[in-house]
């Protein structure tokens, strides 16, 4: 890609474009080709530099007039960009940089001190019964905890720190990155602004030591797979007394032998005999609440029918009430019959008229009609 292009072509503007149009196009292209948005791309970096050179020239009325008449030769060989005598529009660059990285970049430059400690993750498996009632668990985690010997300062007790000579106590150093001056955390003091001359013997200047911590976790009723519980300040301690991170408990549900769950609804399958399905009856389902739920089976129920017990499901997390318990009925055909049972069933079949099973009668009626149509 050749960048020896007309300045107006670089900015994708007509030669009659006014100042506002030039600026709008420049801002759009500068964001598009910014090196931080295209890391490692030499073409984008070259394009970005050329765009800045073009805008630096055309935004100045006198230089633009010279360029329009004599080309690049009329503006001292096009000595624009960040190295040009006029310099670049740093107000515009600042706006673009903020558009790319957000307003938090400006605030970050005012931060001082070591970074906050890292957050930690702990995966915990619980039973469905525990999710129903809520439970308290004790866990042990290995963390970088505050050093008791130096109280997290990193300095040997009785000694003092002194101002960092690298950053002058600011905790930040400036470095040239591409076309920008960027502030970064001082590598000598890790942002503290102070250097430890005599480090603590226990933590070697870190202000924290590895330790196993025992914690109590309260799990509320109604939690589900993937529920996250945050324990504020129970993560790793920050270096040199910085604020600690948090500990996040991620919950996982163990497989239950009877119930499946979807939100606050519990599901189970109940096989019943074909006589119970025909005559009706009652079955008992044990609930997670410890109660026995009597489920009435209406006469003539079909396999796959679902019955609902209101309020017998899971509790609402951080709310009131419970979901439902849904029982899917599976009618089971007997496979082991005694001679007497076979005799009774045969006697029953001899009395059938077809009206007992309307769906079956309708199906075979349609088959009969189909054969008659084919033989006509």
Binding-site residues for Zn(2+): 147, 150, 164, 167, 186, 189, 200, 203
| Residue 100, phi then psi, degrees to nearest 5 | -75, -45
The answer to whether the CB of 117 falls within 8 A of the CB of 235 is yes
Distance CA 369, CA 376 (A): 11
Question: CB–CB of 206/239 below 8 Å?
Answer: yes
Distance CA 325, CA 253 (A): 18
72: DSSP letter? G
| Pairing relationship of beta strands 194-196 and 161-163 according to DSSP bridges | antiparallel
Q: What is the DSSP string of 83-100?
A: GSSS---HHHHHHHHHHH
Q: Are 330 and 272 in contact (CB under 8 A)?
A: yes
The DSSP string of 141-162 is EEEEEEPTTTTTS-BPTT--EE
Give which of 106, 83, 111, 82 is closest to 94, Cα–Cα: 106
Contact between residue 151 and residue 280 where contact means Cβ atoms under 8 Å apart: no
Q: Which of 1, 87, 84 is nearest to 43 (CA)?
A: 1
Retrieve residue 154's tokens.
Answer: 């990193």
Compute the distance between CA of residue 228 and CA of residue 244 in angstroms, rounded to an integer.
19
CA 268, 274, 276, 277 dihedral sign is positive
Contact between 171 and 193 under an 8 Å Cβ cutoff? The reply is yes
Binding-site residue numbers are 147, 150, 164, 167, 186, 189, 200, 203
CA 103, 107, 110: angle at the middle one, nearest 5? 160
**DSSP assignment letter at 71:** G
* HSE-CB of 368 using CA atoms within 13 angstroms: 6
């Amino acid at each position: 890609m050749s960048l020896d292009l007309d300045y107006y072509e670089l900015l994708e503007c007509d030669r009659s474009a006014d100042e506002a149009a030039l600026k709008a196009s420049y801002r759009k292209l500068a964001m598009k080709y910014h090196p931080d948005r295209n890391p490692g791309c030499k073409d984008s970096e070259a394009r970005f530099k050329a765009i800045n050179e073009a805008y630096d020239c055309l935004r100045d009325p006198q230089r633009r007039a010279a360029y329009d008449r004599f080309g690049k030769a009329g503006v001292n060989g096009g000595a624009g960009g960040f190295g040009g005598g006029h310099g670049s529009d740093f107000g515009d660059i600042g706006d673009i940089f903020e558009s790319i990285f957000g307003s938090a970049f400006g605030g970050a430059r005012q931060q001082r001190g070591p970074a906050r400690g890292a957050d930690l993750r702990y995966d915990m498996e619980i039973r469905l019964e525990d999710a129903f009632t809520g439970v308290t668990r004790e866990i042990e985690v290995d963390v970088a905890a505050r050093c008791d010997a130096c109280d997290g300062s990193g300095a040997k007790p009785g000694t003092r720190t002194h101002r960092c000579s690298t950053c002058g106590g600011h905790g930040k150093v400036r470095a040239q990155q591409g076309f920008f001056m960027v502030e970064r955390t001082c590598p000598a003091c890790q942002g503290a602004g102070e250097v430890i001359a005599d480090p603590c013997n226990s933590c070697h200047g870190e202000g924290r030591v590895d330790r196993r911590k025992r914690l109590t976790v309260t799990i509320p009723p109604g939690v589900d797979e993937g529920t996250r519980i945050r324990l504020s300040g129970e993560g790793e301690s920050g270096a040199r007394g910085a604020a600690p991170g948090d500990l996040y408990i991620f919950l996982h549900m163990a497989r239950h032998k009877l119930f499946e769950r979807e939100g606050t609804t519990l599901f189970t399958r109940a096989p019943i005999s074909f006589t119970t399905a025909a005559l009706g009856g009652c079955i008992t389902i044990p609930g997670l609440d410890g109660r026995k739920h009597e489920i009435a089976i209406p006469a003539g129920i079909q396999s796959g029918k679902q019955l609902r017990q209101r309020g017998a499901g899971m509790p609402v997390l951080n709310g009131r009430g419970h979901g439902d318990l849904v029982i899917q009925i599976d009618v089971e055909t007997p496979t082991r019959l005694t001679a007497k049972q076979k005799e009774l069933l045969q006697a029953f079949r001899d009395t059938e008229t077809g009206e007992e099973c309307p769906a079956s009668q309708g199906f075979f009626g349609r088959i009969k009609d189909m054969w008659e149509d084919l033989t006509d």
